[in-house]
Amino acid sequence: MRYHIDTIPVWDALKLDSECPLCALRRQIERGEVDRFLGGSVMEPETRVRVNAKGFCQRHHVLLYAQQNRLGHALMTHTHLRETRQAADKILEAAELGAQGRDASFMKRAMGRGGQDALTAAADALDALTGTCILCDSIAANMNRYAYTLLHLFTHDSAFREAFENSKGVCLKDASLLLRMAAETLRGREQAEFAAALHRVCSGGLRRVEDELEWFTLKFDYRNANKPWNNSRDALDRAITKLRSWCLGAEPDGKK
């Protein structure tokens, strides 16, 4: 697959000196996509067709709801609900018929012989129906582009490589993203050099945050009450970022 190179945002994110520059980029994309879906695109036929088919995950419904554009949110949800209801009704009907040992018509093959197989197949179908998110898909596509750009800069720009190797690293989720992209797009020597650099920065970052989080917990001991916090006041937030990517605390890109 060919990826577009977009170097400026990646450089800017690395200069933030945050726990994960890719988390900063993901958050920027997410905010922009939430605004876009509640803007003019809500009435674009192509966008509505895609929203109707995939809908939004729980997190992104929360973010859309927080924008206070109830009408735009309701319009998208209404047509998605209508399509989902029709699909869900067929799945649930097939589960009922399959459990009774009767012909499940259009889903007979997927439902298996009936009984437990039919119920499990229906549950899988409902999971698939409710497990999609058009906003997540858009974010993932953009993050692949930024991961590719980061690897391109690492292998072609000595200044970026030095900056990356002296950074705080990335979260484990984005370490996975980068390794998968490296496997897809880099050659043998390039893969080895990047994997070594990623190991150093990520392991160093994890050890640093672990120490800071430990000191955060020790500060609750009365014997340490008068000792300095050092860099531990937000250690819990940053530890969670390292473990699961950014989800709480200060915005990773410095926005308020």
Q: Is residue 123 over pLDDT 70?
A: yes
Which pLDDT tens digit goes with each residue over 160-215? 999 999 999 999 999 999 999 999 999 999 999 999 999 999 999 999 999 999 99
Same domain flag for 38 and 114:
yes
pLDDT confidence of residue 105: 53
Number of domains in the chain: 2
Q: Is residue 148 over pLDDT 50?
A: yes
Same domain flag for 125 and 175:
no
Which pLDDT tens digit goes with each residue over 211-232? 999 999 999 999 999 999 999 9
Residue 173 lies in a domain: yes
Same domain flag for 125 and 142:
no
Residue 4 lies in a domain: no
Q: Are 186 and 155 in contact (CB under 8 A)?
A: yes
Q: Is residue 136 over pLDDT 60?
A: yes
Residue 249 lies in a domain: no
Q: Is residue 244 very low, low, confident or very high in pLDDT (cuts 50, 70, 90)?
A: very high
Same domain flag for 174 and 240:
yes
Q: Are 162 and 139 in contact (CB under 8 A)?
A: no
Residue 184 belongs to domain spanning: 137-244
Residue 251 lies in a domain: no
Which pLDDT tens digit goes with each residue over 68-115? 999 989 999 999 999 999 999 999 998 888 888 775 554 555 544 445
Q: Are 107 and 91 in contact (CB under 8 A)?
A: yes
How far apart, in whole angstroms, are the C-alpha atoms of residue 160 and residue 147? Answer: 14
Residue 6 lies in a domain: no
Same domain flag for 121 and 184:
no
Same domain flag for 210 and 227:
yes
Residue 146 lies in a domain: yes
Domain's final residue, options 134, 150, 179 = 134
| Biggest CA pair distance of the chain | 74
Same domain flag for 147 and 123:
no
Same domain flag for 125 and 160:
no
pLDDT confidence of residue 47: 83
Same domain flag for 30 and 120:
yes
pLDDT confidence of residue 97: 87
Same domain flag for 51 and 129:
yes
Residue 1 lies in a domain: no
Same domain flag for 100 and 144:
no
Residue 148 lies in a domain: yes
How far apart, in whole angstroms, are the C-alpha atoms of residue 33 and residue 51? Answer: 13
Task: Say which residues have a Cβ less than 8 Å from residue 19's Cβ, sequence separation at least 6.
Answer: 168, 169, 171, 205, 209, 238, 241, 242, 246, 252
Same domain flag for 154 and 195:
yes
